[in-house]
Amino acid sequence: MEDCQDDLESSGDQDHEAVQEESSTDEDSSDLETGNKTAPRPLLSQAERYLQDCQEIGVIPDASFLCNLGNTSLNLSHRGLGPLGVKALALVLEGDCILKELDLSNNRICWKGGEHLSWMLGHNFGIEVLNLSWNGLCLSGASALSTVVKVNSSLKELYLSHNSFGRAAAELGQALKQNDELLILDLCSNLIDDEAVALLCSGLATNTALKVLKLSQNPISKIGALTLLRTVTNNKNSAMKEIDISSVHVCETFVELLEKARQQDPALDVRYSVFDYVTMNVSAFNIFKKFTEEKHGSIMEFFQGLDDEKTMKVSNSVFRKAVKEANIPLNRHQLEWLIRKFDENFTATINYSQFC
């Protein structure tokens, strides 16, 4: 730490008010690609480059960054870096091939800092794990990062929770169509609604790499949850193993679809919330199926016993009466849900050919 302090002191004492004034003018005028430099930069160590960049940009160097240069993992969470502090890091890390994990969570880097990092990631193909949670990246920052996801082949884990992305999921969806390297994507608490989920699903429909998707604490309804699950299960080449929508209360159709999906892939882990009545309704079919198989051999044979005219149809009232007389252990709500399930078109009859 003493060496780091020496480096900081050697950079020269900066007046705090001058730094603030330079920072405010530099934000819009400086460009990472040109670097505001008129002559080639001399060969410098990473630490020297960083100190020089900080002085030119007008920010105080971060001692922790200096002390950990050359490490494969770097945690700069809660450092108050801001967009210009991140810009200084980006200039140094552009050509770094050692760093693999970078945590910049909770640094108030905003959309401009997101653009600086996106520029860096367009040149750096060593970083595999990046945490940018709690940074207020918003729509513009999400757009910049989506561009990176399309082309960066090194990123494996990307944590972006609490950034108010909203419907920027459209660009993330397009990025996922092209990316075949990203394994974990965390989008928790990002104001993502059902429409944004549908946009994200445009990429999930063909993506073959993503294994973990986190979407909890977003305003997603049971409709968005069902859209997401259908998209993943319909993608036969999907690598998805974990979906976190634990804050969403799902419907009976979702639970049934998930049960079918787990028959094909028992390792699929989907975290969700469910009301007790939904669980009870879903169990109604299994109760009915088990009873009819034990007493009649199959669901089909149960219905055939009610269909004297062999029309392959039984009225809802006849079915309701038969279930009660057979003492099948279903309560009233379960029975009515079962009838709605069998008579989806509300014709007052059950076409039991569906059980052939």
Q: In this predicted model, what pLDDT tens digit does every residue of 282-292 receive, in sequence order?
A: 999 999 999 99
> Is the model's pLDDT at 16 over the cut of 60?
no
Is 219 found in the same domain as 288?
Answer: no
Single residue among 273, 308, 332 that ends a domain in this structure: 273
Which of 48, 52, 87, 46 lies closest to 69, judged by CA? Answer: 46
pLDDT per residue as tens digits for the range 291-323: 999 998 999 999 999 999 999 999 999 999 999
Is 307 found in the same domain as 262?
Answer: no
Is 300 found in the same domain as 263?
Answer: no
What pTM value is reported for the model? 0.83
Give the 3-state secondary structure percentages of the chain, helix then strand then coil, rounded to 5.
Answer: 50, 10, 40
* Average per-residue pLDDT for the chain: 89
**For residue 355, what pLDDT band results from cuts at 50, 70 and 90?**
confident
Buried b / exposed e over 286-312, threshold 16 CB at 10 Å, is eebeebbeeeeeebbebbbeeeeeeeb
pLDDT in the model for residue 38? 46
Is 343 found in the same domain as 243?
Answer: no
Single residue among 273, 291, 317 that ends a domain in this structure: 273
Domain of 300? 280-355
Alpha carbon distance 75, 73 (integer Å): 7
Domain total of the chain: 2
Is 312 found in the same domain as 330?
Answer: yes
Is 218 found in the same domain as 171?
Answer: yes
Single residue among 239, 273, 307 that ends a domain in this structure: 273
Is 309 found in the same domain as 259?
Answer: no
Is 305 found in the same domain as 211?
Answer: no
pLDDT in the model for residue 42? 63
